[in-house]
Amino acid sequence: MSSSNRTESSPLSFILTGLPGLPPSSPWAALPLGCLYLLMLLGNCTLLWMIRTDHTLHTPMYSFLSMLATADLGLSLSTLPTVLAAFGAASPSLPLGACVAQMYFIHCFSAIESGVLVAMAFDRFVAICHPLHYSSVLSSALVLRAGGLVLLRGVSVVLPVALLIRKMRFCGSRVLSHSFCLHQDMLRLVCGDVRVSSLYGLIAVILTKGLDSLTILLSYTMIIKALLSIVSPGARAKAFSTCISHLSAVLIFYIPLIGFSTPHRFGKHLHPLTQTLLADAYLLVPPVLNPLVYSWKTQQIRKRILLLLCWRWNQQQV
């Protein structure tokens, strides 16, 4: 029986891989990854809890921050089961439907996070360039509509990617390059013409991350222009300090994204280990670092954490 006939008659599933060069089952590598996911869950859930329970944090900036934490949780939880399985079991497999679903949620939450970063850039733009109109411009209704628009865009733009690849035929090797399912990685295993799916995938990236990065760049160009017009160096530094956390989140998201996407699309001869590490950084670094950055750089959150720690200490002493 030919390879293509076997592919059509047997249940279609994909084999996940851990790090190239490691044994198929590496429980010792699953332990630090599990700790990383635990840190991500703890950090983002703590942020969401503090924003929800502290009424002083019920402002547009922290509403957008809660959306960012939710997107980070969704992105991480989309990969957690298969990543831990890939390092804890010998060559685990994933059915086609589950693989497409995971691919959809990964790219969907990534697009949502990119959109939330744009909304946060707009928040900083209004706060610095039009401070007197901040409350009237960024009303609760506008923040809610912005969140709904970001969610709708992420869900709708990525959906055709999943529908297109769901109808394709796979033959030959079914071994993926990563411990999770990604669009370009799955296209590599398709037998047939993939130009439409590949082209739409590129268009989807341009319509989300491409336009978002340009919008953020434009926002900060106007912010810097407004900061330069401030005469007092102290007031200028204080105004710019409110942007540090957001700028850090933008760099944490886009640098791994560029480092992963460019070689994955154009670097065909890149070492497999490098591709795997870039993909892991793209999906794991932002959800872990964002809560740490905002907890460290945002005074209100830092004070809230210190109060919580002091309360826990007093409880233990009693």
pLDDT per residue, tens digit, the chain (318 aa), is 444 444 444 568 888 887 765 665 566 667 888 888 999 999 999 899 888 888 888 899 999 999 999 999 999 999 988 888 877 766 678 898 999 999 999 999 999 999 999 999 999 999 999 988 999 999 999 999 999 999 999 999 999 999 999 888 888 778 888 888 988 888 888 888 888 998 998 899 999 999 999 999 999 999 999 988 887 888 888 888 889 989 999 999 998 888 777 665 555 566 666 777 788 888 888 999 998 888 877 777 777 777 766 766 776 665
Q: In this structure, what token pair is assigned to residue 37?
A: 């996911």
Query: What are the backbone angles phi and psi of residue 216, rounded to the nearest 5°?
Result: -65, -40
| Secondary structure E strands in 20-123 | 93-95
Q: Looking at the domain assignment, is residue 114 inside a domain? A: yes
**pLDDT score, position 264:** 57
**pLDDT score, position 315:** 67
Range of the domain at 253: 13-317
Answer yes or no: are the C-beta atoms of 44 and 295 closer than 8 Å: no
Q: Give, to the nearest 10 degrees, the angle between helix 96-129 and helix 244-266.
A: 140
* Burial class (CB within 10 angstroms; exposed 0-12, middle 13-18, buried 19+) of 263: middle
Q: In this structure, what token pair is assigned to residue 65?
A: 């921050």
Q: Looking at the domain assignment, is residue 121 inside a domain? A: yes
| Secondary structure E strands in 48-179 | 93-95
Q: Looking at the domain assignment, is residue 1 inside a domain? A: no
How many domains is the chain built from?
1
Q: Which residue has the tokens 């969704």?
A: 74
**pLDDT score, position 301:** 78
Q: Looking at the domain assignment, is residue 200 inside a domain? A: yes
**pLDDT score, position 2:** 42
Q: Looking at the domain assignment, is residue 296 inside a domain? A: yes
Q: Looking at the domain assignment, is residue 216 inside a domain? A: yes
**pLDDT score, position 17:** 81
Please tell me the distance from the alpha carbon of residue 316 to that of residue 318, in angstroms, as a whole number.
5
**pLDDT score, position 275:** 73
Q: Looking at the domain assignment, is residue 6 inside a domain? A: no
CATH of the domain at 207: 1.20.1070.10
Amino acid identity at 167: K
Q: Give, to the nearest 10 degrees, the angle between helix 211-228 and helix 244-266.
A: 150
**pTM (2 decimals)?**
0.88
Q: Looking at the domain assignment, is residue 192 inside a domain? A: yes
